[in-house]
Structure 1
Amino acid sequence: MKIVDTYFRLRSGKGKSGWLMLPVLLLMVVGVYSLVHATGGIKYVYSHSMYIPVMLAGLCYGWSGGILIAVIAGIALGPLMPIEVVTGEPQKAANWLFRTGFFLFVGVLSGIASNAALAQVRKLQWMTRHDPATGLPNLTALLDALGAGDANPSGFARRALAVMSIRNAPELRTVFGVAVVEENMTQLAGRALGSLPPGARVFRVSSEQLAVLFEDPEGASADTLARVGAAFQLPFLYREVPLHLDVLVGYVVLADAGVAPQDYLRRAQSATFHAFETGSEIAHYQVQLHDRTRDSLAILSGLRIALERRELLLHYQPKVCLRTGTVRGVEALMRWNHRERGLIGPAVFIERAEQSTLIHALTAFALETALGQALQWQAQGIDLPVAVNISSRNLAHPDFARRILDTLARCGAAPRLLELEVTESSLMLDVARTTAELQLLARQGVRVAIDDFGTGYSSLAYVQRLPVSHLKIDRSFVSDLMSSPDSQHIVETVVSLARKIGLQTIAEGVEDAATYERLQSLGCDMAQGFYLARPMPADALPAWLEAFDSKISRIPA
């Protein structure tokens, strides 16, 4: 790199090496002249040494420098140099002019070669600091710009770094091709610069992310970025087609000169991820965001290891018929028997797993384990279907139904032993395909329940088109049943309408006798909650069932 820098200084004429090289070349010409003269004159071979300073001149100063030294060299070894020093016989003009022509040819040729090499080096240097597709400075340039603040720590308090990510970039590429993102990245950069204070710089740090470094003298980053966000709401154009870019912004204020440039970028990207998680457009970096992201990655990594080590297990919570008091089934709920943290509930890791492809492995484990357990209970005389929760990622898999049926066949379990619990929102992602998949399962005898009903679309109109048999009323309505008239009206309405279209209702989150009795009076079909039983290990269920049979008489009928 030092050689390249020196070469640039020579060619640009900047620095000491730029002007010192010319006297060196002239001294080399004088040196060759002296050598030729001292060895007897031009008739001897030492005159060819003059090509060295001529070539160096072309390399150092281009073809113009090569011409200058070639002319000087031609004169030095021409009229100023005899054929033979002893006799003093002068050269013929044609001879030394011919030689000078060769010097000129070599000087121009080396200069052209030097110019071509210089252009290529400049191109390579430009590419190391710029994105070829958009021409914007790249990640390397950003880190250098952030690192430049180390020389002036006070400058950090006046700057902010924002990362802008195009969330729907994969969708745009699928429809319009790769070029659409490159084109809109350029438009995005232009709008950002148009809305930011003078002196702001835009960098492309990844295929779908821009970073913006701007002055923040008054600590008004949020207001500044809000103006940028408003500019992003206007349509972007690609081949005269208006497009919407779903842009998420995360930012961090550069207030500490001791933080490495990479860490500032990581913080801004962490804030962008937080904006994605929370559904907001702009998010400010906070320390807890980094901790949360780090914990999320640690959990996902640990889950994969937990699957290999068989640290995951299922607990089962009974569902009781409100009319007869009999147990009608159980729901399988995953637990993680962590080696250091003990038993961890699903609220800690399931949500994170659902945001990754790891959810497929967890669901496969849950299905096989639950069906295997249902068969073991059957052998003990306990015939209960098991409900397994299915995520939106599972439903989106093109072979969802086939995988379920393959698992049933592999375990040797009857389809009636399995119930799938899916949320309203996951059902609505692709209604046509989801309906076809669930209908295939329903025809084979697998039952489907809509989980958390009432928190999503809450429309019984679409439920009629789906092959579902149960609606699970969300615990938020059940827990407020005794204190909120609105919750009571919602539960009553859902129960009534579900019965009219031939569906059964399950109330989850039943915590006390009063709620149990009220659900009975409203005509709800089944209940599930701590009042009846907490989730329990599989081997504890037979004893609980035996004890529950004797308790039925004490539960209001």
Structure 2
Amino acid sequence: MTGLAVIMLGLTGLSVTGVAQTRRSAAAVSKVCALAAAYGRIHDAVITEERSERLYRVEPGSVVRTSHTTAGASLQDALLDVERFGTDTDRRLATELGALHGQYLQAVTDVFDAVDDGDVARIDTGRAQSLFERINRIVQTATVERDAQAARALRHLERVETLAFIATVAGFAVGLVLMTVLLVASVGYQRRLMRHAASSEYLASHDSLTGLPNRALFARRAADALRDAQDRGAGTSVLMLDLDRFKEVNDTLGHHYGDELLRQVAARTSATVRSGDLVARLSGDEFAILLPQAAAHDAARLATRLQSELHRSFVLDDVTVDIEASIGVAAAPEHATTVEAALRCADIAMYSAKDTKTGVAVYDPAMQVEDGSRLLLLGDLRRALDSTDQLTLHYQPKIRLNDGQVSGAEALVRWQHPTRGAIPPAEFIPVAETTGLISRLTLYVLRAALGQVRTWLDDGLTLPVAVNVSPRCLLDAGLVGHVVALLREFDVPASLLRLEVTESAVMANPATATATLTELHELGVRLSIDDYGTGYSSMAYLKRLPVDELKVDRTFVLHMDADHDDAVLVRGAIELGHNLGMTVVAEGVEGIAHVAALQALGCDIAQGYHYARPMPAADLSRWISDQRPATVPVG
């Protein structure tokens, strides 16, 4: 009994010591994991701030600024956790990060203010980018150190558990029943602590909603893949995936549906990629995909296949949702040599895909060259659309060649900038075409033109007006509804509105374009193919389109009196239009020789400086009054 008591006391001491060591080791692991998670939140927050700062230069607004402020607050909370769980070194590091972050916020505020003021000379992103990279470098280094510390603590915990297990087994041979109870209790408790430590490590490296790896784990795996690719002389690619209009799902259906959508997107993405690829959720609706030993063209093909998979409907409980995704592709070492650089390049390509509506884009260095004047022009145009005194319409008359009568007019937008003066349409319309502003601009012109038609009708002048429709608007499912609403609002007959579309706009998506044009034609709206001869129209599509008018591009008309080839092309266009039952309009008529040649070829209508330049509505009214009686036959 004495010997057993001694053994039991000894085993008890060993067990107590082992349990105490295990508890301390587990607590150390949990603390280090919490510290690593805090550094991860700092990293996520500063990345979000940097993305918000870049997005604000393209689309300034309160939403982006609020996102930037929220990220800053998250970073400050994470710094408090670093001070709470960290050592003196961590607390000094937190103080340094806080100071750097304050400088970074001031630099970003200066950029925001310069964008808001429209002062391109003050838009200096260099200081903010330098501070961002310093903060990011410090956080990355600290995260790696804390991960290594957590791994060492876990290994120590495993050694302690092993020693305690051996001591328990040895005591079992002597103490039998008593040691059995002690063994079960000790092993069970230690395993629970091990599971807790492993769970803490898992939570620190995985997304709790989708179960996918988080940014920290993705960065570690990507760094390993880049090193392996360099050793093998092979490439590695990174995809950045972002869901378009995900916020609408949360706002319309609720966050429960948004979370379920993210889980299904994660599952569908993981099922689409290769077995050795890694899918991670970085934040919100943003995912990253690591493709080891994959070149840029292979990654682009996978991205296209993934986009097709995500475009299939998602069933969220009792609701079916369809979404679209934009994917950016970057390859190492072709585009970047570090994980952060690869993610940044893929992010830039993703925003390019979102902006151009292509769905998938491979990074090109030209994407990163931001034109400050273009950014300012977009902001000024957005403000001009909200104003009432900058954008106006000028009208150029269209003249029938058989009797010289006015058959209608084309509405052309003009921009009088408050400080830069008149800005040519050729300068701002192409910029608007690359963004959603072109839809707002088109609706602005439609509203102003139909309002003017109503004014002319009230004055006893019946004058059809033509409005140009961009390719993006033609493919907008809401275009027909907008036209119907505006015709009803101004009580204008549909026959007095003519919509002009280009060949390229029709051929971009013939099926959708034909369906939209058919609906408009059935309303009574007249339709015209603009700039004919400069695109690549298929005769098969052209003859099926419900088009009333064919406009020959000015580049052919200008030299038709001196260039035989141009004259042949104009004659062919006139004959084609007449054979398809269309009225033919010649643009760019600048001299009497043009008029005579067009009359000889049987052209119906002419438009150009020979008759009149585009002019304000009041001037056109006087011009028509000077030409003939006020009642103008409808063309």
State the TM-score, normalizing by the size of structure 2: 0.56
CA drift at 1:55: 2.0
CA drift at 1:370: 0.3
CA drift at 1:108: 1.2
Distance 1:284 1:338, change over 3 A: same
The higher relative CO (CA closer than 8 Å, separation ≥ 6) is in: 2
Q: Which residue of 1 aligns with 2:408?
A: 329
CA drift at 1:496: 1.0
Q: Which residue of 2 aligns with 1:536?
A: 615
Q: Which residue of 2 aligns with 1:118?
A: 197
> Which of 351, 376, 383 is 1:305 aligned to?
383
Matched, 1:68 2:32: no
What root-mean-square deviation, in Å, do the aligned CA atoms of Structure 1 and Structure 2 show?
Answer: 5.4
Contact 2:239 2:299 (C-alpha < 8 Å) held by counterparts: no
CA drift at 1:369: 0.9
What CA distance in whole angstroms lies between the structure 2 residues aligned with 1:425 and 1:532? 28
> Which of 240, 264, 274 is 1:186 aligned to?
274
Contact 1:251 1:272 (C-alpha < 8 Å) held by counterparts: no
Letter of the 1:229 partner, please give it.
H
Letter of the 1:186 partner, please give it.
R
What CA distance in whole angstroms lies between the structure 1 residues aligned with 2:392 and 2:334? 46
Deviations 1:83-126 (A, max 9, x none): xxxxxxxxxx87xx766555434431232012212322332344
Q: Which residue of 2 aligns with 1:218?
A: none
CA drift at 1:470: 0.4
Q: Which residue of 1 aligns with 2:297?
A: 229
Q: Which residue of 1 aligns with 2:365?
A: 285
CA drift at 1:402: 3.5
Moved more, 383-392 or 342-351: 342-351
Letter of the 1:423 partner, please give it.
T
Matches within 5 A, 1:91-110: 101=180, 103-110=182-189
Contact 2:349 2:361 (C-alpha < 8 Å) held by counterparts: no
Moved more, 484-493 or 429-438: 429-438
What CA distance in whole angstroms lies between the structure 2 residues aligned with 1:169 and 1:308? 25
What CA distance in whole angstroms lies between the structure 1 residues aligned with 2:558 and 2:234? 49
What CA distance in whole angstroms lies between the structure 2 residues aligned with 1:344 and 1:464? 38
> Which of 34, 56, 73 is 2:20 aligned to?
56
Matched, 1:520 2:520: no
What CA distance in whole angstroms lies between the structure 2 residues aligned with 1:301 and 1:269? 22
CA drift at 1:461: 3.9
Matched, 1:348 2:443: no
SS state at 2:370 partner: helix
Distance 1:102 1:480, change over 3 A: farther
Distance 1:119 1:163, change over 3 A: closer
Letter of the 2:530 partner, please give it.
D
SS state at 1:397 partner: coil
What CA distance in whole angstroms lies between the structure 2 residues aligned with 1:387 and 1:299? 26
> Which of 376, 396, 416 is 2:495 aligned to?
416
Contact 1:163 1:269 (C-alpha < 8 Å) held by counterparts: no
SS state at 2:393 partner: strand
Contact 1:250 1:270 (C-alpha < 8 Å) held by counterparts: no
What CA distance in whole angstroms lies between the structure 1 residues aligned with 2:619 and 2:440? 26
What CA distance in whole angstroms lies between the structure 2 residues aligned with 1:340 and 1:252? 45
Letter of the 2:365 partner, please give it.
Y
Contact 1:58 1:66 (C-alpha < 8 Å) held by counterparts: yes
SS state at 1:467 partner: coil
Distance 1:180 1:520, change over 3 A: farther
Contact 1:510 1:528 (C-alpha < 8 Å) held by counterparts: yes
What CA distance in whole angstroms lies between the structure 2 residues aligned with 1:451 and 1:253? 46
SS state at 1:325 partner: coil
Distance 1:263 1:229, change over 3 A: closer
Letter of the 2:18 partner, please give it.
V
Contact 1:478 1:507 (C-alpha < 8 Å) held by counterparts: yes
CA drift at 1:415: 1.6
CA drift at 1:209: 6.5
CA drift at 1:420: 0.9
Distance 1:132 1:308, change over 3 A: same
SS state at 2:369 partner: helix
CA drift at 1:450: 1.1
Contact 2:242 2:350 (C-alpha < 8 Å) held by counterparts: no
Q: Which residue of 1 aligns with 2:453?
A: 374
What CA distance in whole angstroms lies between the structure 1 residues aligned with 2:217 and 2:620? 60
Matches within 5 A, 1:140-155: 141-142=218-219
CA drift at 1:51: 6.8
SS state at 1:186 partner: coil
Deviations 1:53-97 (A, max 9, x none): 332333435577347348769999x9xxxxxxxxxxxxxx87xx7
SS state at 2:452 partner: helix
Gaps of 5+ in 1: 1-36, 79-92, 150-154, 171-176, 191-200, 215-223, 551-557
Q: Which residue of 2 aligns with 1:315?
A: 394
Contact 2:453 2:465 (C-alpha < 8 Å) held by counterparts: yes
Matched, 1:490 2:558: no
What CA distance in whole angstroms lies between the structure 2 residues aligned with 1:330 and 1:381? 16
Contact 1:142 1:203 (C-alpha < 8 Å) held by counterparts: no
Deviations 1:409-451 (A, max 9, x none): 1111122221111223333455556445434433443211112
Gaps of 5+ in 2: 1-5, 26-155, 246-263, 310-325, 630-635
Q: Which residue of 2 aligns with 1:220?
A: none
Aligned-pair identity in percent equals 31
Contact 2:14 2:164 (C-alpha < 8 Å) held by counterparts: no
CA drift at 1:387: 0.7
CA drift at 1:482: 4.6
Letter of the 1:111 partner, please give it.
Q
Distance 1:163 1:316, change over 3 A: farther
SS state at 2:529 partner: strand
State the TM-score, normalizing by the size of structure 1: 0.62
Q: Which residue of 2 aligns with 1:442?
A: 521
Structure 1 or 2, whichever has the larger Rg, is: 1
SS state at 2:402 partner: coil
Contact 1:353 1:359 (C-alpha < 8 Å) held by counterparts: yes
Letter of the 2:160 partner, please give it.
G
CA drift at 1:339: 3.2
SS state at 1:490 partner: helix
Distance 1:506 1:161, change over 3 A: farther
What CA distance in whole angstroms lies between the structure 1 residues aligned with 2:344 and 2:158? 48
Distance 1:213 1:312, change over 3 A: farther
CA drift at 1:374: 1.4
